[in-house]
Structure 1
Amino acid sequence: MAKPLYHAPADCPVCGDQLITTRKGCLHCGTEIAGEFASCEFCSLGEADLTLLKVFLGSRGNLREVEKHLQVSYPTARARLDAVLAKLGLDPADPGTTAGPAHAGTADADGTEEQSEYGDAVDDDLTPEQQILARVARGELSPDVAAQLLAD
């Protein structure tokens, strides 16, 4: 049985600076090379983050499929993806990236945007029924759940 391989830490446990790889070896023949090798930008991600990315890429960017695979809500799947993007240095809220929300928020009196518990802007001008329908349109609620909420 093969010896398990462990995920190398990305940061130095002493000073916190980024680690580099200085030795690589072949498990088959035992060949070793030494030097200073750059690590990839994904090397600092943990197993859960890498699994999320694999599912996301395998579903061709469909967060609904990620939601089903991870058995979490859509907002949770989106929040986890946003967290991975942030770890990779990609700001999900930056308009220059495709991961951010496509709608603008409402500004409070002090100029800051008010947000819902999902990180989306809240529109106080909408009735509760319109807010439910807007959440369906954004993919936060399924039509069945929305129908139940509207019936109540």
Structure 2
Amino acid sequence: MSVAYGTGGFTGHPPVHAHRPPRDCPVCGAGLQVTRLSCDACASELSGVFESCGFCGLTDTERDLLRVFLVSRGNMREVERHLGVSYPTARQRYADLLAKLGLEGAGSPVAPAGPAGPAGPNEPEQSREDVLAMLARGEIDVDAAADRLRQVG
């Protein structure tokens, strides 16, 4: 048995390379479930069905796009500059990312639900980008953002 000193300290196991697990079954295409977790520090293992993270299946490029979008507070011009592509291409990549996360329909209006309630007849409606930008700034929480995004669909 080889001995490894990883981030979890002495483990007695060979070093494990961090790979992202696939989201879909390579045989039938159905979604995969997380069923086993392990601790590098003490070699304990847990078995069961665990909720997976929708963001965990993103590629490094998609995570980078999401990070830039959030850091730039939803400014697509900054995303465009970071990617080194045209504005329409940046918007399309962002729309593709939303679709992969199950938030398709980017650009569809969402009625704001602030303290005064939904938008009145003279108030402008928000887009999905506006809602996600509010989430990135901490103005609303994840549940409120999800509710607003569902109203569009």
Q: TM-score, normalised by structure 1?
A: 0.58
Judge conservation of contact 1:11–1:18 (CA < 8 Å) in 2: yes
Match of 1:53 among 36, 61, 66: 66
Supply the RMSD in Å over aligned alpha carbons: 2.0
Specify which structure has the bigger relative contact order, considering alpha-carbon pairs within 8 angstroms and separated by 6 or more residues: 2
After TM superposition, the structure 1 = structure 2 runs for residues 10-89 of structure 1, keeping only pairs within 5 Å, are: 10-89=23-102
1:93-132 deviations in whole A, cap 9, x for unaligned?
Answer: 53337237xxxxxxxxxxxxxxxxxxxxxxxxxxxxxxxx
Q: Which residue identity is paired with 2:98?
A: L
Pair member with larger Rg? 1
The answer to whether the aligner puts 1:98 opposite 2:127 as a matched pair is: yes
CA distance in 2 between counterparts of 1:61 and 1:20 reads 31
Q: How many residues align?
A: 100
Secondary structure at 2:93 match in 1: helix
Gaps of 5+ in 2: 7-15, 111-125, 130-153
Shift of 1:33: 0.9
1:49-107 deviations in whole A, cap 9, x for unaligned?
Answer: 1111011111111111111222222111111000001111222153337237xxxxxxx
Judge conservation of contact 1:63–1:77 (CA < 8 Å) in 2: yes
Task: Identify the residue that residue 147 of structure 1 maps to in structure 2.
Answer: none
Secondary structure at 1:22 match in 2: strand
Judge conservation of contact 1:82–1:92 (CA < 8 Å) in 2: yes
Task: Identify the residue that residue 130 of structure 1 maps to in structure 2.
Answer: none
**Worse-superposed segment, 15-24 or 27-36:** 27-36
Judge conservation of contact 1:82–1:99 (CA < 8 Å) in 2: no
CA distance in 1 between counterparts of 2:85 and 2:41 reads 40
CA distance in 1 between counterparts of 2:31 and 2:54 reads 11
